[in-house]
A and B are shown apart, each in its own frame.
Chain A
C-alpha cells in the first residue's frame, strides 16, 4: 500500500541511553529498517513523548509505529494509537535489564539492541492494522437449550438485560428436574428449612415475558453457523420443523440421576429402596402428610446412604462427588422430621459435605434429631423391612440397621450429548468407508444435544467425566466452542443455587458473544482482537490440518475439502497458521511473514566471531511474561538470544525454524505452556501441537546436516523467571559445546 508510512521511536530513558548507543540504533532503524521517521526521546512514555508520536500520526500521516523502549507488556495504554499498527522492540526488559552490566558487555548488548530494532522494523513492515468489523453476525437473540431451572434462569436473565431468548425444551413443560422436587434446599438465611422450589412462578414469569419464546416438546435437529449467525432447526415431537436465528447459545441440558439398577449390592431395584428422585416423588404424593412407601405403608424409619455409586475408586461407578447430595439427603430427612419428629432418620455418610452456609442446614437437621452416622454401607437389602449393613467408622465395628425405607444418594450424570473423543475415530473410520462406522456415527448423532454441523463434531467437547466444563480455573466459561456456553449440572455437578448463579453467568457470556460477533471482535482470551485468519485458498492443498487442529472447531470444509473459516468462531490463536504446510493462512497483524521477517532481520555473525545466535519463540501468555520478570529481577541471561513473542506455540510454523537454521542460527528454543491432561495452554493444544510438530522436524534437520539438539521445546510457567534464565544459559552452553552451526555463512 502506497499510503503506509513507517516511523520508529527509540526511548533512551530508564538507563537505555546510558547503556546503549542510541544514535547507532537510530541509524539502523533508518537505514536497515527503512523507517521514514526515526526519533529518539529521553522519556518516551510520558505525555510529551507520546504526543510526539501522535503529532507525527496526525501531521505526518504515520500509519505504522515501532516503539523501541520497554516490553510490550509495559506502558501498553500509552502506546496504543487508534488505527495505527504498532510493533515493540523490547530494549528494557529484553536487553538493558538482562544483559550483564559493565563495559565488557557493551558490544553484545549493543548488538542485541540493534537486532531488536531490526526485528521491530521488519515486523512492522509486514503488519497491517486489522480492519475487523465484518458485520456478518448480527443476531442478538440467544438460544437456551433446556427448560429446567438453569435454562429458565438463563432466559429470564437474558431478557432482563433487554435481549431476546428462545428456549427449546424436550418435554411438554418447563421445570426439568426441579419440577420433580417437593422442596429445595434453603438458599438464604436462616438455612434451616427446605424452601419452595418455585418452578411454577418461574415458568409463569417466562410465559409473561415478551422477550422469551418457548418451544416445548422440541429438540434441536441441526445447529449451523457461528456466533451472531447461528441457524437452529427445531424439531417438534409432532415432526414439524421450525427455524430460529440466534447469536449465541446457552446449553442448560442438566443431568440424569445415576441409574440405581447399577447398584444391586446397595439394594438398587429392590422394593422400598429408592433414589433421591424417588423419595421426592413419595414426598410430593404425601404433600406434607406422612410419607408412605410404594406399598402404602407409612415410613417410620429411613436410612439415607450417601455416595451411592459415587466417589467410586474401582472404576465401576461414578468416581466423582455430585456435591449436592449431602444437602439433598439432609433436606429429605427434614421432610420426615418436620412431619413427625418420632420418625427415625439416619444419614450414613463418609464425609459430610455441606460447604459454606450449608453448615447451618446440617446443624438444623441435627437439632431436629436427624442422626448422622459416619459409616460405609456394604450391603442394602430391600423388602418389607430393609436392612443396611455397614461399617461404623467411629465405633469401628460392623453393624446392621433396619429401616422401612432406604434412600440411595446417587450422583448426577450430565446430559452433554456426544463425547467427541469417541466420535472422532468413528467419523474417521466412516469417512474411510467403514460401513459399520457409518451406522455407528449416525446412531451417535441421534444422541447429540446440539447437532452442530461443525467439522469437529456435533456437541461441545467434554472435559472430565462427561461434563461440558471449562478446563480453566480463572475462566470457567472459557469454552471450546465460541458462543456456546454450558450452564448448570451439564457443566459440573451442582445444586439449584449454584445452577442459577451459573446460568446467570452463562447468560452474560452469551450476551457478550453476540456483542462481540456484531463487532467482529474475538472472544476470550484475545478479547477485542479484530484480526482474523485469511487464507489464500489458491495455494491450499486441502490437507485438512487446519480443520482438524483448530482447537475451537472454527474451520469447516466445503465439498472440495477446502477450509471454510468461520471468523466469529475463531479465537485468533493462529493454530491454523502454525499447522499449514504451505503457509497460506495468515492474520493481518500476525503472519508467517511478520515473524519470518524478524527471524531474517537478525544479523548472524560469522563463525569465527564466536557469537552464537539463538532464536527463542516464546508464548506471549506465560513464557514471555516470565522472561520480562527475569528482567524486572535483573537476572542475567545470554546476550546471544533473540526472543520473539508468539500468540501460542500452536501458531509456530515450522518454516520459521527452518528459516532460522538456514540463516545460520545455532539453535532454536520454543517456550510454551504446560501440555497434557492438566494443560495450561490458553488455546488448549498449542503447546502439545508444537511438541508434536517439532518431534517430526528431525528429518529436516538431518537433511540440513544439523544435530537434533539445535531445536528445543520447553514447557514454561509464568512463575519461572529464574528457570527461564537457566534454560537459556544452559542451552547456550550446550550449543557452545556443539560448536557453531555448519549453516553459518550460507544464509
Chain B
C-alpha cells in the first residue's frame, strides 16, 4: 500500500475527532452534528466562510486536520449566536468555532495575518495589560498592525469618526498614556497565569 493511500485510509478514522474532543472547547459535541446545515445558512458572514460549521464538523470526522486547522473560516465568526440557537441538536457551535480558532491559533496553524486572528490577539493582550480594554490603544494598534504607512492611511480614513467620538466625549485621548485599569493588577495577572497554566497542561501545550 502506498503512503498516499494509507493517508486516505487513515483519514476516516476517528483520530482527529478525538484530538478535537480532547483539546477544543466543547469539542465533544462535534460528533452530535447531523448535517442539517442550519448553522451554515444562519451565519451573517456565511458567504465569507470557505467551509461552513457543519462542513467543518464533517471534515473533523473525516480526519481533515490540516484543512480544518489551517482554515480561516472559524475567524469569520461574529459571535452572533444565530447558529447556536437554531441548531436542532443544540451544538454550541459558536463556542466550538471559538475553540477551533483558539486551538489552531495556539498550534500556529491558523492563517498568518488573518485580520480577526490578529485583532483578537491584540484585544486580549490589551485587556490583560490593565484588566480593562483601552479602546484607543486597541484601535490604534489595530490600524497600525500593517506598518506605519498603512496605519496612517487607515487611521486618517477613520479620523472623522475619531474626532466625532472625541467631541462626543466617547474617546479619551489621555487613554494613550494609561487610562482605566484594575487596581489589583498583580492579582488579576496571577489569576490569568494560573488559569492558562491549568488549561495548557490539560491541552498539552505546557510541554
Interaction A to B:
yes
Instruction: Give A contacts to B, CB under 8 Å.
Output: 301, 344, 346, 352, 362-363, 366-367, 369, 371-374, 387, 392, 394-395, 399-402
Q: Which residues in B have their C-beta under 8 angstroms from that of A401?
A: 9, 11-12
Task: State whether A346 touches B12 (Cβ < 8 A).
Answer: yes
Task: State whether B32 touches A400 (Cβ < 8 A).
Answer: no
B157 within 8 A of A: no
Q: Which residues in B have their C-beta under 8 angstroms from that of A369?
A: 14, 17, 31
Kindly provide the distance from the CB of B32 to the nearest chain A CB, expressed in whole angstroms: 5
Bound: A402/B7 CA distance, A? 11
Bound: A392/B12 CA distance, A? 11
Q: A371-B14, A400-B9, A401-B9 are in contact. Are A395 and B32 (CB under 8 A)?
A: no
Task: State whether A395 touches B31 (Cβ < 8 A).
Answer: no
Kindly provide the distance from the CB of A405 to the nearest chain B CB, expressed in whole angstroms: 14
Q: A371-B61, A395-B62, A401-B9 are in contact. Are A344 and B35 (CB under 8 A)?
A: no
Q: Which residues in B have their C-beta under 8 angstroms from that of A399?
A: 8, 11-12, 62
Q: Which residues in A have their C-beta under 8 angstroms from that of B12?
A: 346, 371, 373, 399, 401-402
Instruction: Name, among B11, B12, B14, the residue most crowded by chain A CB atoms within 10 Å (CB to CB).
Output: B12
Choose among B8, B13, B54, B89 the residue that contacts A344 (Cβ–Cβ < 8 A).
B13
Bound: A373/B34 CA distance, A? 9
Choose among A301, A362, A374, A387 the residue that contacts B35 (Cβ–Cβ < 8 A).
A374
Task: State whether B61 touches A373 (Cβ < 8 A).
Answer: yes
- CB-CB nearest 3 A-B residue pairs: A402-B9, A401-B12, A394-B58
Bound: A366/B30 CA distance, A? 9
Q: Which residues in A have their C-beta under 8 angstroms from that of B59?
A: 395
The 12 sampled A-B contact pairs (Cβ below 8 Å) are A301-B13, A363-B32, A367-B31, A373-B58, A387-B9, A392-B62, A395-B55, A395-B59, A399-B62, A400-B9, A401-B9, A401-B11
Task: State whether A366 touches B13 (Cβ < 8 A).
Answer: no
Instruction: Give B contacts to A, CB under 8 Å.
Output: 5, 8-9, 11-14, 17, 31-32, 34-35, 54-55, 58-59, 61-62, 89
Q: Which residues in A have their C-beta under 8 angstroms from that of B13?
A: 301, 344
Kindly provide the distance from the CB of B46 to the nearest chain A CB, expressed in whole angstroms: 17
Task: State whether B14 touches A394 (Cβ < 8 A).
Answer: no
Residue of B nearest to A352 (CB): B34
Task: State whether B14 touches A395 (Cβ < 8 A).
Answer: no
Q: Which residues in B have their C-beta under 8 angstroms from that of A374?
A: 35
Q: Which residues in A have their C-beta under 8 angstroms from that of B17?
A: 369, 371
Q: How many A-B residue pairs have CB under 8 A?
A: 51
Choose among B8, B34, B35, B89 the residue that contacts A400 (Cβ–Cβ < 8 A).
B8
Q: Which residues in A have their C-beta under 8 angstroms from that of B8?
A: 399-400
Residue of B nearest to A300 (CB): B13
Task: State whether A344 touches B31 (Cβ < 8 A).
Answer: no
Kindly provide the distance from the CB of A406 to the nearest chain B CB, expressed in whole angstroms: 13
Bound: A352/B8 CA distance, A? 25
Bound: A106/B11 CA distance, A? 86
Q: Which residues in A have their C-beta under 8 angstroms from that of B5?
A: 400
Bound: A344/B89 CA distance, A? 22
Bound: A363/B59 CA distance, A? 19
Kindly provide the distance from the CB of A381 to the nearest chain B CB, expressed in whole angstroms: 12
Bound: A29/B169 CA distance, A? 104
Q: A363-B32, A400-B5, A402-B9 are in contact. Are A344 and B14 (CB under 8 A)?
A: yes
Kindly provide the distance from the CB of A348 to the nearest chain B CB, expressed in whole angstroms: 10
Residue of B nearest to A388 (CB): B12
Bound: A367/B55 CA distance, A? 19
Q: Which residues in B have their C-beta under 8 angstroms from that of A387?
A: 9
Residue of A nearest to B10 (CB): A402
Bound: A392/B5 CA distance, A? 17
Kindly provide the distance from the CB of A118 to the nearest chain B CB, expressed in whole angstroms: 67
Bound: A546/B50 CA distance, A? 71
Task: State whether B55 touches A372 (Cβ < 8 A).
Answer: no
Q: Which residues in A have their C-beta under 8 angstroms from that of B32?
A: 363, 366-367
Q: A346-B12, A372-B34 are in contact. List 5 more A-B contacts (CB 8 A).
A: A366-B32, A371-B61, A373-B58, A387-B9, A401-B9
Bound: A395/B17 CA distance, A? 16
Kindly provide the distance from the CB of A377 to the nearest chain B CB, expressed in whole angstroms: 12
Q: Which residues in A have their C-beta under 8 angstroms from that of B31?
A: 366-367, 369, 371
Bound: A401/B55 CA distance, A? 19
Residue of A nearest to B1 (CB): A385
Bound: A399/B17 CA distance, A? 18
Q: Which residues in A have their C-beta under 8 angstroms from that of B62?
A: 373, 392, 395, 399
Bound: A362/B89 CA distance, A? 12
Task: State whether B35 touches A394 (Cβ < 8 A).
Answer: yes
Kindly provide the distance from the CB of A358 to the nearest chain B CB, expressed in whole angstroms: 13
